[in-house]
Chains A and B, each alone.
Chain A
Amino acid sequence: MSAWRAAGLNYINFSNIAARLLRRALKPEFRAEAAKRDESHIRITKWADGKPIRQESSA
């Protein structure tokens, strides 16, 4: 079992962290363009019994 999974991450989190670090390591002229791909605006709400659950997780 790899260390990141033992720490409670799944592969999606792991690869996203890796991608973010790679984007930060780019040369400045490419970094701005790559930073745009790092953004996320999606809002996720859990539903139960036909109603949204109050606390909104933006996980």
Chain B
Amino acid sequence: MLGRFGSLVPLVTQNVQQQRGMATLKSISIRLKSVKNIQKITQSMKMVSAAKYSRAERELKQTRPIGSGATQFYEKAEISAPEDLPQKLLIAMTSDRGLCGAVHTSVARLIRNELNNDQQNLKVVCVGDKSRLILQRMYGKNIIMACNEIGRLPPTFTDASKLADAILNSQYAFGSGQIVFNRFKSVVSYSTQTLPVFSLAAVKTAAKLPVYDSLDDEVIQSYLEFSLASLLYYAMKEGACSEQSSRMTAMDNASKNAGEMIDKLTLTFNRTRQAVITRELIEIISGASAL
């Protein structure tokens, strides 16, 4: 502001000139300080999520068999979505917390694409505040359930079973469904994937169900209830792990960027300070020689 003013009015008095130099110096140092504080925050957030990540990864390793076991059944029995029941359910696995890159947005984007194809027969269960916030404005009418208070602590099986229970009791009759979650691949990568879930009717009419021995309706029903809970639990764990790892990278990048900014600002600060000193010297010397 002052700088622009100075260039418009070249005949500024010495006093104002000096003040301008001081003001920029001060404003640079204030900015430098705030960027340094931001770097401290992002660095400590990185440390926190690194600790949470290592725990999440350890727990994920234990959880993977649960998820693959449940998906194997669907694959082996070759269950397909029933044609007379087009209603579908989408479960978005996100969390309440942000600042972790595109983890939540990629889940929401996948769901948005599905919803753009078919608004009528799709309902969404939003797990975590983030997916709800992204989806509620455009597709609020499609949300039948929202969960929060997730992501602060590692998800437990009790969380998953409460959610599964709520979905089963939701009076929404769906033929098939998908759990949309981020599958953790490595510290730097995850991919947004879906896990299928099916209703009891779909499983009963499955082509290859007879490969399983001694199944009656009650066993299938019990197993489906339990497998929904375990699939949700697995998806929660994968999601939590990718979220923490993604937050770790995001915070690492943020600290790096803050570091670059600090370097640049320090350089400008020193240069400005030097310029002020030089100018003052010139003023003194030229003043002395004029005497």
Q: Which residues of A contact B (CB under 8 A)?
A: 1-2, 5, 10-13, 15-16, 19, 37-52, 57, 59
Cα-based distance from A10 to B157 in the complex (angstroms): 16
**Minimum CB distance partner of A59 in chain B:** B166
**Minimum CB distance partner of A52 in chain B:** B146
Instruction: Evaluate contact between B141 and A45: CB separation under 8 angstroms.
Output: no
Cα-based distance from A51 to B146 in the complex (angstroms): 10
What residues of chain A lie closer than 8 Å to B140, measured between beta carbons? Answer: 47, 49-51
Report which of A10, A16, A42, A47 forms a contact with B144, defined as CB distance below 8 A. A47
Cα-based distance from A44 to B127 in the complex (angstroms): 9
Q: A38-B156, A39-B158, A43-B148 are in contact. Are A5 and B218 (CB under 8 A)?
A: yes
Instruction: Evaluate contact between A47 and B143: CB separation under 8 angstroms.
Output: yes
The answer to whether B58 has its CB under 8 Å from any CB of chain A is: no
- Tell me the interface secondary structure of chain B in the complex: helix
Instruction: Evaluate contact between B158 and A38: CB separation under 8 angstroms.
Output: yes
> Total A-B pairs in contact (CB under 8 Å)?
88
Report which of A10, A41, A49, A57 forms a contact with B159, defined as CB distance below 8 A. A41
**A-B pairs with beta carbons under 8 Å apart, 13 shown:** A5-B218, A11-B222, A12-B164, A12-B228, A16-B161, A37-B158, A38-B156, A40-B162, A42-B149, A42-B159, A44-B145, A50-B136, A57-B166
Cα-based distance from A25 to B152 in the complex (angstroms): 29
Instruction: Evaluate contact between B146 and A47: CB separation under 8 angstroms.
Output: yes
What residues of chain A lie closer than 8 Å to B226, measured between beta carbons? Answer: 11-12, 15
The answer to whether B221 has its CB under 8 Å from any CB of chain A is: yes
Q: Which residues of B contact A (CB under 8 A)?
A: 136, 140-141, 143-150, 152-153, 155-159, 161-166, 168-170, 218, 221-223, 225-226, 228-229
Instruction: Evaluate contact between A41 and B218: CB separation under 8 angstroms.
Output: no
Beyond A11-B226, A44-B146, A44-B163, 11 additional pairs, beta carbon < 8 A = A12-B165, A12-B168, A19-B157, A39-B158, A40-B158, A41-B149, A41-B150, A41-B152, A46-B145, A59-B165, A59-B169
Instruction: Evaluate contact between A10 and B165: CB separation under 8 angstroms.
Output: yes
Q: A38-B158, A47-B145, A48-B144 are in contact. Are A12 and B152 (CB under 8 A)?
A: no
What residues of chain B lie closer than 8 Å to A49, measured between beta carbons? Answer: 140-141
Quick one: which of A45, A49, A51 has the most chain B CB within 10 A?
A45
Report which of A1, A13, A42 forms a contact with B150, defined as CB distance below 8 A. A42
What residues of chain B lie closer than 8 Å to A19, measured between beta carbons? Answer: 157
**Minimum CB distance partner of B166 in chain A:** A44
Give the Cβ gap from B90 to chain A, nearest Cβ, in Å.
13
Report which of A1, A37, A44 forms a contact with B162, defined as CB distance below 8 A. A44
Instruction: Evaluate contact between B162 and A42: CB separation under 8 angstroms.
Output: yes
Cα-based distance from A26 to B117 in the complex (angstroms): 51
Cα-based distance from A33 to B74 in the complex (angstroms): 33
Cα-based distance from A37 to B59 in the complex (angstroms): 12
Instruction: Evaluate contact between A46 and B157: CB separation under 8 angstroms.
Output: no
